[in-house]
């Protein structure tokens, strides 16, 4: 097996706000191997975007990494100077965000923006023609027809799906080894979304670019990812192979999440909505963050936070699987009473 | 829940058209430039019988919301007709609409922005009664309304921005239901919600359908949602219906190439079913309703297109039993035999796809 | 939910209407006073209001009392700001001048707001032909600088307090109409307007209940910003002899009179322009702070605040 390209260990991120300090990420651990597609999934506000931003140290000004390590290609990102970090951004790790219109400057042509992006990453010495050629190639690669002409167009002259392709082309200009796609398809229609997902898979296959795909859509995750990180209230509650996660999820939250997805098969039945709400990050309960919604919760769940355990190829953060607990204190895996598929 | 075939349709839409003119400003007007129009809804016909749920799917900009807003009289129709229980809705004046508002209501696409931001939930929930001068004995109390949509009484004092997306959606549903409508347009009721919140909204809508016998037109682009909720499905493409039929049939045996492509693109939350799933992704872009393609509007993206498709507009062919399709070649494409879809056949298809 | 947590950061006043009107006003004032410019504006305006209300008590002399013997004097213990060419106490004249300044500016701005609000709401909500006519009208008025327009109108109507107020009101009205029209058009796009329509609400109900409250905040800001303009126009007119007729101690008239004797005694000019400057600055700073507090979108400095 290849070495991990990206290792995130015990990552902790807080946001400083008027109302107090928000622990947005807590003890997040996972890794991405070369050429792998890893999905991060979870409900709104669980910290997915924060995770993506923290990896590149692009958090908003009130955010702060307060613990843990992010190793990329054998180097600790925290130890890099800002110059080196800039080189990593773009060349090593590139990002694509949800809204392509706000990421592109409306006043410049797509070509100018792509050439600027190339220059920003130290290819300024090359002639403009070379840079333009490379930009055209990049656009062609992401499936923009007639790129040589289209490069002179402004962003608004492209449709939403095309703009997202352009963003991906820009991200791929420097052949990064890791692409972070934060809800890169969420604003798109089903058919356009499928096109972009297909494009990402192709890039992954042809260039060996590893992809960290952030999405709240379980379908999208199942479609393209090899591994999945399930997040809840700033924690990675379960992590593992996509088949294992979808076939034999261990964590009660993952099970409940999968069960709540409507589908024609559930026609005529009541959907298994998870009771209660995601707790506010400002008032997190002391124990397991899922305890007040979990059908299995017992005393220990409210008292202590479960640690991350390896079980059957997965990593899961739940006392159900903690064999160090005496049987009497342990929550019982009585799936019949919990939402989830048997 | 399926409709009683005896009674006529509750809601009937015939050749409805809504064009938006994009002519702007005095100068253009003075020059009388023949400027284009956006044909947002371009000749749509369908019926909905009492107690039925019609799912309306289609990509962004295909005119789903515009269709609903036109039927609701919120944007003027360019032509065609829409009738509720035989009563024509198109061309009614504001005053004539009043009594009908109580019978047909709508849940808007964006829950947060469909509640006026400076009023408390209690005010917003009483508004339907105040506006329609409903006598007090016919009013449900704010608490009752909140309870009906599964919100606690303390939400009454909140402002819309203090509600979560799911709660705001519930308040909009409560507002729409306050007048006891018979028909409810639900425009993307689960868009932007987390899986769990979406599930509880769908549960709520299902419960209301069972209890109050509501007739829904459910607008969504999420095929999983229509598959779960709708009895029949209508598929829209650039302002026109391309296929309409029983939900089970459409999902198992789509007839129109666009419906097939749409189904092929929908992400399925099951990694086993994804092998090669993205291989036949529909290419191309959604055409602009400003300048729709000639002939069959789907022809630039359709892999079965032939010269006839570029020239000749396919008619929406009525196959009986509420099944319709608009494609020149559907018979040729549709190789699988089409027995009337039975529950068992659907269940077999389902069994294949379960986790 | 996440939204609540993220918004916790945003200043409380920006949230629409939590709590009663009074607590909201209190919170608004506190938020304004927290910023130096806002505090300055508030203090200046409070002082001005006190002076205006209590002018006879604060002023050491009557503004009209002449004392020819002591004309054109510099500051002294008897006359803190000195005296004018007729020996009238300049401090008292400046103080009573504030009455005229605000007495003209406030009604003028209110007229402008009222006219602008009505035109803006109607043309913004109805659109179409009505809108086109309104735009042409506003353009016609705004084609002239406010002072020139006021001059021309006053030359026709003749100078009097009432006419000055009306003329300034007319000159400023298009500004309001434009803002209100733009805001109405934007607010009309909100889905809640359509939601109200679908419940059967009348146009008036929608305009009064659902559009007006959303355009009130920018109007507030505009008022604060326009009062100094109105004061300046009034002073300008008075300077040119077309303002409130003498012997009323308008600041503009003080300037004009002082100008004739500037070589003998500059004090009239200094006193009047100081008053003018301070007032203008006070309102402008309040207006700008209000804008920052109420409408971060306009100030362009804070962008991530909006609810998702
Ligand atoms: N700049 C910020 N200041 C304060 N809190 C923030 C900030 N950015 C994010 N948060 C909070 O941190 C938490 C995680 O936010 P994040 O954007 O990472 O969530 P997410 O999982 O990406 O959600 P979504 O699916 O809605 O995009 C949320 O509760 C959010 O409110
Ligand atoms: N008021 C309007 N003026 C001009 N064009 C409009 C107006 N409202 C909608 N349109 C256009 O009509 C077309 C259909 O829009 P509509 O909102 O009905 O689509 P939709 O199917 O609901 O899409 P979505 O899934 O994105 O909500 C779009 O091209 C849109 O730009
Ligand atoms: S630790 Fe306890 S509360 Fe948390 S998920 Fe596991 S069983 Fe449920
Ligand atoms: S009519 Fe032709 S182009 Fe249109 S869907 Fe059928 S085969 Fe395709
Ligand atoms: Mg996010
Ligand atoms: Mg819509």
DSSP C65: -
**Residue A163 confidence class, pLDDT cut points 50, 70, 90:** confident
Q: Say whether pLDDT at B355 is over 50.
A: no
More confident residue, B344 or B130: B130
Q: Inter-chain contact C1–B164, Cβ cutoff 8 Å? A: yes
Contact yes or no for A110/A169 (Cβ under 8 A): no
Q: Which residues of A touch C1 (CB under 8 A)?
A: 44-45, 277-278, 280
What's the gap in Å between B65 CA and the centre of ligand 4?
25
Distance to chain C for B168, nearest Cα, Å: 12
Mean pLDDT, residues C298-307 taken together: 37
Residue B27: what pLDDT? Answer: 55
Report yes or no on B311 lying in a domain: yes
**Inter-chain contact C132–B26, Cβ cutoff 8 Å?**
yes
Please indicate, yes or no, if residue B68 is contained in any of the structural domains.
yes
Confidence of residue B351 (pLDDT cuts 50, 70, 90): very low
Mark residue B186 as left, alpha or beta (left: phi above 0; alpha: psi -120 to 50; beta: remaining).
beta
Least confident range of B162-171, B333-342, C135-144 = B333-342
Name the residue of A16, A18, A24 to mutate for ligand 1: max ligand atoms within 8 A of Cβ: A24
State the pLDDT at residue A201: 92
Q: How far apart are CA B1 and CA C201, in angstroms?
A: 33
- Predicted confidence (pLDDT) per residue in C27-61, tens digit: 888 888 888 888 998 998 898 888 888 777 777 77
> Each residue of C66-81: pLDDT tens digit?
777 776 777 777 777 7
Whether B66 shows a pLDDT value over 90: the answer reads yes
The answer to whether the beta carbons of residues A93 and A56 sit under 8 Å apart is yes
Residue B346 pLDDT: 42
- Mean pLDDT for the stretch of residues C192-212: 87
Among A154-163, A225-234, A303-312, C296-305, where is mean pLDDT lowest?
C296-305
Is the distance from the beta carbon of residue B298 to the nearest atom of ligand 4 less than 6 Å? Answer: yes
Ligand 3 pocket residue status of A232, Cβ below 6 Å: no
SS (H, E, C) C185-236: HHHHHCHHHHHHHHHCCCHHHHHHHHHHHHHHHHHHHHHHHHHHHHHHHHHH
3-state secondary structure of B325: strand
Q: Distance from B110 to chain C by nearest Cα, in Å?
A: 7
Of B267, B285, B346, the CB nearest to A159: B285
**Does residue B136 sit within a domain?**
no
Instruction: Compare all CA atoms of chain B with the CA of A241 and give the residue at the minimum distance.
Output: B271
Burial of C155 (0-12, 13-18, 19+ CB in 10 A): exposed
> Residue B26 has what pLDDT?
54
Determine the average pLDDT of the residues in B185-213. Answer: 89
pLDDT tier, C219 (very low <50, low <70, confident <90, very high otherwise): confident
pLDDT band at C305, cuts 50/70/90?
very low
CATH of the domain at B51: 3.40.50.300
Given pLDDT bands bounded at 50, 70 and 90, which one contains residue B340? very low
Return the minimum-mean-pLDDT range out of A129-133, B290-294, C68-72. Answer: C68-72
Q: What is the pLDDT of residue B122?
A: 92
Predicted pLDDT at A342: 40
Binned at pLDDT 50, 70 and 90, residue A338 comes out as low
Q: What pLDDT, in 10s, does the model give residues C243-285?
A: 777 777 778 777 777 777 777 777 778 888 888 888 888 988 8
- Please check whether residue B114 lies inside any domain of the structure: no
> Is residue B316 included in any domain, yes or no?
yes
**DSSP helix/strand/coil, C253:** helix
User: Are the Cβ atoms of B116 and C202 closer than 8 angstroms?
Assistant: no
Q: What is residue A1's predicted lDDT score, i.e. its pLDDT? A: 53
The ligand that comes nearest to the alpha carbon of residue A338 is 3
Which of C8, C23, C200 should we substitute to test contact with B (largest number of B Cβ atoms within 10 Å)?
Answer: C200
Decide: helix, strand or coil at residue B21: strand
Give the mean model confidence (pLDDT) for residues B23-40.
62
pLDDT above 90 for C99: no
Whether residue A233 contacts residue B169, with contact meaning beta carbons closer than 8 Å, is answered with no
Nearest Cα neighbor of A272 from B26, C178, B4, B197 is B197
Q: Which of A121, A21, A23, A11 is nearest to A55 (CA)?
A: A11
User: B70: domain range?
Assistant: 5-22+37-103+181-351
Distance CA A223, CA A214 (A): 13
Q: Which two tokens stand for residue A61?
A: 């000004």
- For each of the domains in chain C, give its residue range(s) and CATH number, in order of start: 35-294 (1.10.3720.10)
Could you tell me whether strands A314-316 and B37-48 are parallel, antiparallel, or unpaired per DSSP bridges?
unpaired
Chosen for mutation from A15, A22, A24, A45 (greatest number of chain C CBs closer than 10 Å) is A45
Half-sphere exposure of A281 (CA within 13 A, CB side): 29
Q: Which residue has the higher pLDDT, C21 or A210?
A: A210
Our count of domains for chain B comes to: 1
Distance in angstroms (rounded) separating the CA atoms of residues B76 and B78:
6
Helix axes C128-142, C161-189, angle to 10 degrees: 140
Is residue C13 pLDDT above 80, yes or no? no
- C8 vs A: CB within 8 A: yes
- pLDDT, mean of residues C203-209: 86
Q: Which residue, among C104, C289, C114, has the nearest Cα to C219 in the 3D structure?
A: C114
Q: A235 phi and psi, to 5 degrees?
A: -115, 150
* Sheet strands (E) in chain B: 11-21, 37-48, 53-58, 79-84, 87-88, 104-107, 183-187, 215-219, 232-237, 240-246, 317-318, 324-325
Residue B155 located in a structural domain: no
Which DSSP letter does residue C35 get? S
Lowest mean pLDDT among A295-304, C79-88, C116-125: C79-88
**DSSP per-residue letters across A17-71:** ETTEEEEEEEEEEEEEETT-EEEEE-STTSSHHHHHHHHTT---TTEEEEEEEEE
Which residue among B101, B113, B159 places its CB closest to the CB of C199?
B101
In a domain, residue B302? The reply is: yes
Residue B344 has pLDDT above 50, yes or no: no
Share of chain C above pLDDT 70, in %: 87
Residue B237 pLDDT greater than 90, yes or no: yes
Full-model pTM: 0.80
| Spatial separation of the C-alpha atoms in residues A53 and C108, rounded to whole Å | 53
Lowest-confidence segment of A81-90, B27-36, B339-348 by average pLDDT: B339-348
DSSP string, A82-147: HHHHHHIIIIIEEEE-S-HHHHS-TTS-HHHHHHHHHIIIIITTS-HHHHHHHHHHHHHHTT-TTH
Ligand nearest to the CA of B298: 4
Whether pLDDT at A3 is above 80: no
DSSP string of A157-197? GS-HHHHHHHHHHHHHTT--SEEEEESTTTTS-HHHHHHHH
Contact C5 A280 (CB under 8 A): yes
- Of A312 and A6, the one with more pLDDT: A6
Cα B62 to middle of ligand 2, angstroms: 7
Q: Under a CB-based contact definition with an 8 Å cutoff, are residues C207 and C117 in contact?
A: no
Which pair of tokens denotes residue A314? 């997965």
Contact list in A for residue B228 (CB cut-off 8 A) is: 262-264, 266-267, 271
Residue B238 lies in a domain: yes
């Amino acid at each position: 097996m290849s070495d991990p390209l990206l290792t995130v260990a015990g990552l902790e991120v807080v946001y400083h706000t008027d109302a107090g300090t928000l622990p947005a990420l807590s003890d997040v651990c996972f890794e991405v191997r070369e050429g792998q597609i890893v999905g991060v999934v979870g409900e709104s506000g669980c910290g997915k975007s924060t995770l993506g931003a923290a990896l590149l140290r692009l958090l908003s000004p009130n955010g702060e990494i307060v613990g843990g390590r992010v190793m990329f290609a054998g180097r600790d990102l925290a130890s890099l100077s800002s110059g080196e970090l800039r080189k990593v951004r773009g060349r090593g790790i590139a990002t694509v965000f949800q809204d392509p219109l706000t990421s592109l400057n409306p006043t410049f042509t797509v070509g100018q923006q792509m050439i600027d992006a190339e220059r920003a990453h130290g290819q300024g010495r090359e002639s403009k023609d070379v840079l333009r050629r490379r930009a055209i190639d990049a656009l062609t690669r992401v499936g923009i027809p007639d790129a040589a002409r289209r490069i002179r167009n402004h962003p608004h002259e492209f449709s939403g799906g095309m703009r997202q392709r352009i963003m991906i082309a820009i991200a791929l200009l420097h052949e990064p080894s890791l692409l972070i796609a934060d809800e890169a398809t969420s604003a798109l229609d089903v058919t356009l979304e499928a096109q972009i997902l297909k494009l990402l898979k192709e890039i992954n296959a042809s260039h060996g670019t590893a992809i960290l795909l952030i999405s709240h859509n379980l379908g999208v995750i199942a479609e393209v990812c090899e591994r999945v990180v399930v997040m809840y209230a700033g924690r990675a509650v379960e992590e593992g192979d996509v088949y294992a996660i979808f076939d034999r999820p261990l964590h009660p939250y993952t099970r409940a999440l999968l069960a709540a997805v409507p589908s024609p098969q559930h026609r005529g039945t009541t959907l298994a909505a998870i009771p209660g709400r995601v707790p506010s990050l400002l008032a997190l309960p002391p124990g397991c963050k899922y305890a007040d919604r979990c059908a299995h919760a017992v005393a220990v769940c409210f008292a202590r936070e479960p640690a991350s355990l390896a079980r059957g190829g997965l990593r899961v953060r739940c006392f159900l699987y903690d064999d160090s607990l005496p049987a009497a204190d342990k929550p019982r895996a009585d799936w019949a009473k919990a939402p989830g598929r048997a | 829940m399926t409709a009683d075939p005896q009674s006529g349709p509750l809601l009937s839409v015939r050749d409805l058209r809504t064009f938006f003119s994009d002519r702007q400003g005095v100068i253009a007007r003075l020059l009388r430039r023949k400027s284009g129009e956006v044909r947002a809804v371009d000749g749509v016909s369908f019926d909905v019988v009492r107690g039925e749920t019609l799912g309306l799917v289609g990509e962004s900009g295909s005119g789903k919301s515009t269709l609903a807003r036109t039927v609701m009289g919120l944007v003027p129709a360019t032509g065609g007709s829409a009738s509720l229980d035989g009563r024509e809705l198109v061309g009614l004046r504001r005053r004539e609409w009043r009594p009908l508002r109580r019978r047909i209501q709508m849940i808007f696409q964006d829950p947060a922005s469909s509640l006026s931001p400076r009023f408390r939930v209690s005010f917003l929930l009483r508004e339907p009664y105040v506006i329609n001068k409903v006598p007090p004995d016919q009013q449900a109390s704010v608490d009752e309304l909140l309870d009906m949509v599964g919100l606690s009484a303390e939400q009454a004092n909140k402002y819309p921005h203090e509600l979560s997306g799911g709660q705001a959606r519930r308040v909009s549903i409560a507002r729409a239901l306050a007048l006891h409508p018979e028909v409810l347009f639900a425009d993307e009721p689960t868009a932007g919600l987390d899986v769990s919140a979406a599930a509880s909204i769908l549960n709520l809508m299902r419960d209301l359908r069972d209890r109050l016998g509501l007739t829904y037109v459910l607008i969504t682009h999420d095929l999983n949602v229509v598959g779960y909720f709708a009895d029949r499905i209508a598929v829209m493409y650039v302002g026109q219906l391309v296929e309409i039929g029983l939900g089970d049939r459409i999902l198992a045996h789509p007839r129109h190439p666009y419906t097939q492509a749409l189904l092929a693109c929908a992400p399925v939350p099951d990694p086993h079913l994804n092998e090669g799933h993205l291989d036949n992704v529909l290419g191309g872009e959604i055409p602009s309703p400003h300048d729709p393609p000639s002939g069959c509007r789907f022809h630039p993206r359709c892999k079965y297109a032939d010269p006839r498709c570029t020239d000749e507009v396919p008619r929406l062919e009525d196959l009986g039993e509420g099944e319709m399709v608009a494609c020149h070649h559907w018979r040729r494409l549709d190789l699988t035999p089409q027995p009337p879809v039975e529950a068992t056949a659907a269940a077999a298809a389902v069994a294949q796809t379960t986790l | 939910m996440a939204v609540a947590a993220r918004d916790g950061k945003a200043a409380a006043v920006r949230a629409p209407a939590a709590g009663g009107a009074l607590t909201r006003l209190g919170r608004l004032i506190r938020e304004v006073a927290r910023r130096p410019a806002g505090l300055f504006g508030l203090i200046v305006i409070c002082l001005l209001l006190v002076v205006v209300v209590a002018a006879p008590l604060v002023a050491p002399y009557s503004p009209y009392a002449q004392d020819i013997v002591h004309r054109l004097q510099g500051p002294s213990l008897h006359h803190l700001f000195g005296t004018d060419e007729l020996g009238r106490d300049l401090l008292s004249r400046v103080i009573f001048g504030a009455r005229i300044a605000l007495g003209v500016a406030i009604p003028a701005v209110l007229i402008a707001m009222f006219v602008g609000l009505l035109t803006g709401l109607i043309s913004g909500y109805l659109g179409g032909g009505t809108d086109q006519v309104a735009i042409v009208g506003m353009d016609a008025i705004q084609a002239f600088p406010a002072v020139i327009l006021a001059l021309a109108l006053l030359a026709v109507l003749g100078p009097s307090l009432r006419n000055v107020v009306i003329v300034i009101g007319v000159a400023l009205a298009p500004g309001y109409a434009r803002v209100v029209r733009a805001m109405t058009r934007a607010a009309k796009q909100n889905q809640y307007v359509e939601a109200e329509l679908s419940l059967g609400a009348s146009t008036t109900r929608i305009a009064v209940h659902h559009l007006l409250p959303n355009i009130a905040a920018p109007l507030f800001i505009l008022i604060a910003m326009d009062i100094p303009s109105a004061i300046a126009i009034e002073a300008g007119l008075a300077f040119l002899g077309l303002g409130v007729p003498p012997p009323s101690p308008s600041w503009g008239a003080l300037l004009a009179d002082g100008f004739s004797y500037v070589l003998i005694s500059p004090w009239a000019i200094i006193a009047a322009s100081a008053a003018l400057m301070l007032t203008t600055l006070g309102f402008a700073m309040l207006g700008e702070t209000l804008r920052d507090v109420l409408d971060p979108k306009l100030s362009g400095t804070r962008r991530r605040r909006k609810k998702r």
